[in-house]
Amino acid sequence: MIANVRGDERPPDNALSGENNLLSNLNEKDYDKSIDLYTKAIELNPFVASYYGNRSFAYIKTEFYGYALADADKAIKLDPKYVKAYYRRATANMALGKFKLALKDFEAVTKSHPTDKDAQKKYNECNKIVTRIAFEKAISVEEKKKSVVDQINLSTISVESDYDGPRLENEEKVSLKFALDLMKAYKDQKKLHRKYAYTGKKFTVCGDVHGQFYDLMNIFELNGIPSADNPYLFNGDFVDRGSFSVECIFTLLTFKLLYPNHFFMSRGNHESETMNQMYGFDGEVKSKYTGQMATLFTEVYNLLPLSHCINNSILVMHGGLFSDDNVTLDDLRKIERNRQPPESGLMCELLWSDPQPQNGRSPSKRGVGIQFGPDVTKKFLEKNNLKYIIRSHEVKQAGYEVAHNGQCITVFSAPNYCDTMGNKGAFVTLKGGDLTPKFTSYEAVPHPNVRPMAYANSLLSLLA
């Protein structure tokens, strides 16, 4: 494959020609192999812009947006006329919600290739997003906005006589029967009525489910329905990418209402307004319900805990650890979480950071948060008198990974992520006084013929 990439590559008049055929000799499960091969090519000749540009593409496909940006920058430095590198950089910035930076690169491409219709379309779509954000900011008021909750009058919402879905007892109480009826209805591709949508001896930790409702149902079939005797913690990224995110979040919130002291939910990096607008949840909610409902979810996500401590021994968070060695559990308790995630600081790092095999810290492969080594984990655990951490946030082929001398566990619960990655999903069960983790891996199960990212922002689909 490397031999087919020429160092003097120049884009044709249509700057996107061959975009979707890049790495054509690899199937969608081999981006890690592609990264490895292009890395070896760069070691042999570090002055070929296309090597960096193509590796940037593979990094984007594996969601390592920080690395993708760095490679795109290097490709542009080596060859300022290498148009695909501008696309790579724009794509990575779009994925991180940095729309103004993406717009600059799209503008550069349209100026260099004024007849390229694809480039013009991407520029126009990105410009719409930047314009909309600027308009919303201009008309916003500094005082606290009235909550959507205060604008909803349930008494005015009637349940139609022909509605045959789950019903709340006495129109207000969540019961086990309601939860079971809800899951059955979702399996049959029915919808919960909007009135109910607004009301709302082991311990199992699950990672990202990303809108893969039928795989979520498989977890409950394998491990049992949540109950007071079968508690669960879902560790963020309940929505986005998968196209059954509404079904996932309502099922999880139903169990939270049913068992408030035995069912727990941590916020992930995708429980944010920007991610939801890009990766599908916002569009899905608006398609199945209303824009008001989408705004309500933003408010709900702002209230989710950022981490959980189990038996004063295990800290569970979605992303990872911190750029400061002196962080304590009290520092985490003091974080103001009722807001959109910032781009730096403790809240950002809890949601975005990743472990690395080597000691120390490194810039994030995602472009947000940090990467932290075994020594960082060890110091944090010793300072806070903890045994180990459990985090999610990353696809693992077995659905889980034990790293940092057993002190850092990753669990990812969305098998065959986005219907392309071929990974297993997993959950962790903790039993006994010493809370020894037990891992259960499982394959993906069939789902209705709705593709992942079906509700995602149209510009992302253009960049795929």
pLDDT in tens, 255-275: 999 999 899 999 999 999 999
**Per-residue pLDDT for 434 more than 80?**
no
Task: Assign residue 105 the CATH number of its domain.
Answer: 1.25.40.10
Query: Residue range 395-408: average pLDDT?
Result: 97
**Per-residue pLDDT for 30 more than 90?**
no
Together in a domain, 106 and 238: no
CB within 8 Å of 22: residues ≥ 6 apart? 54, 57
**Residue 29: its pLDDT value, please?**
56
CB 178 within 8 A of CB 168: yes
Which band of pLDDT confidence, cut at 50, 70 and 90, is reported for residue 172? low
Together in a domain, 306 and 385: yes
**Residue 422: its pLDDT value, please?**
92
Query: pTM above 0.85?
Result: no
Together in a domain, 426 and 380: yes
**Per-residue pLDDT for 64 more than 70?**
yes
Together in a domain, 209 and 243: yes
Query: Residue range 128-132: average pLDDT?
Result: 87
Residue bearing the bigger pLDDT, 317 or 173: 317
**Residue 27: its pLDDT value, please?**
44
Summary mean pLDDT of the chain: 87
**Residue 144: its pLDDT value, please?**
53
Which band of pLDDT confidence, cut at 50, 70 and 90, is reported for residue 154? low
**Per-residue pLDDT for 63 more than 90?**
no
**Residue 95: its pLDDT value, please?**
86
**Per-residue pLDDT for 165 more than 90?**
no
CB 416 within 8 A of CB 445: no
Together in a domain, 359 and 457: yes
Together in a domain, 127 and 221: no
Residue bearing the bigger pLDDT, 345 or 95: 345
Inside any domain, residue 428: yes
- State how many domains the chain has: 2
- The encoded tokens of residue 27 equal 């199937």
- The encoded tokens of residue 273 equal 């307004």
Query: Residue range 272-296: average pLDDT?
Result: 93
String of DSSP letters for 370-410: EEE-HHHHHHHHHHHT-SEEEE--S--TTSEEEETTTTEEE
Which band of pLDDT confidence, cut at 50, 70 and 90, is reported for residue 25? very low
Together in a domain, 359 and 451: yes
Inside any domain, residue 157: no
String of DSSP letters for 42-73: HHH-TT-HHHHHHHHHHHHHTT-HHHHHHHHH
Query: Residue range 16-24: average pLDDT?
Result: 42
Query: Residue range 57-61: average pLDDT?
Result: 91
Residue bearing the bigger pLDDT, 58 or 201: 58
**Per-residue pLDDT for 145 more than 70?**
no
Together in a domain, 131 and 254: no
Which band of pLDDT confidence, cut at 50, 70 and 90, is reported for residue 149? low
Together in a domain, 193 and 92: no
Task: Assign residue 316 the CATH number of its domain.
Answer: 3.60.21.10
Residue bearing the bigger pLDDT, 278 or 16: 278
**Per-residue pLDDT for 426 more than 90?**
yes
Inside any domain, residue 144: no
Together in a domain, 109 and 193: no
Query: Residue range 274-291: average pLDDT?
Result: 93
Which band of pLDDT confidence, cut at 50, 70 and 90, is reported for residue 197? low
Which band of pLDDT confidence, cut at 50, 70 and 90, is reported for residue 18? very low
Inside any domain, residue 314: yes
**Per-residue pLDDT for 339 more than 70?**
yes
For the chain, give the percent of residues with pLDDT over 90. Answer: 63
**Residue 17: its pLDDT value, please?**
41
Q: Is residue 393 annotated as part of the catalytic site, yes or no?
A: no
**Residue 186: its pLDDT value, please?**
79
**Residue 5: its pLDDT value, please?**
36
Together in a domain, 269 and 389: yes
Residue bearing the bigger pLDDT, 219 or 91: 219
Together in a domain, 301 and 412: yes
- The encoded tokens of residue 2 equal 């490397």
Quote the domain boundaries for residue 339.
165-463
**Residue 198: its pLDDT value, please?**
56
Backbone angles phi, psi at 325, to 5 degrees: -75, -10
Query: Residue range 440-464: average pLDDT?
Result: 85
Inside any domain, residue 62: yes
Cα distances from 70 to residues 21, 37, 74, in angstroms, run: 22, 17, 6
**Residue 26: its pLDDT value, please?**
43
**Residue 205: its pLDDT value, please?**
98
Inside any domain, residue 27: yes
Inside any domain, residue 60: yes
CB within 8 Å of 335: residues ≥ 6 apart? 306, 346, 347, 350
Active-site residue among 113, 270, 393, 447? 270
Inside any domain, residue 316: yes
CB 151 within 8 A of CB 292: yes
CB 266 within 8 A of CB 307: yes
- Taking the C-alpha atoms of residue 186 and residue 205, their distance in angstroms, rounded to an integer, is 23
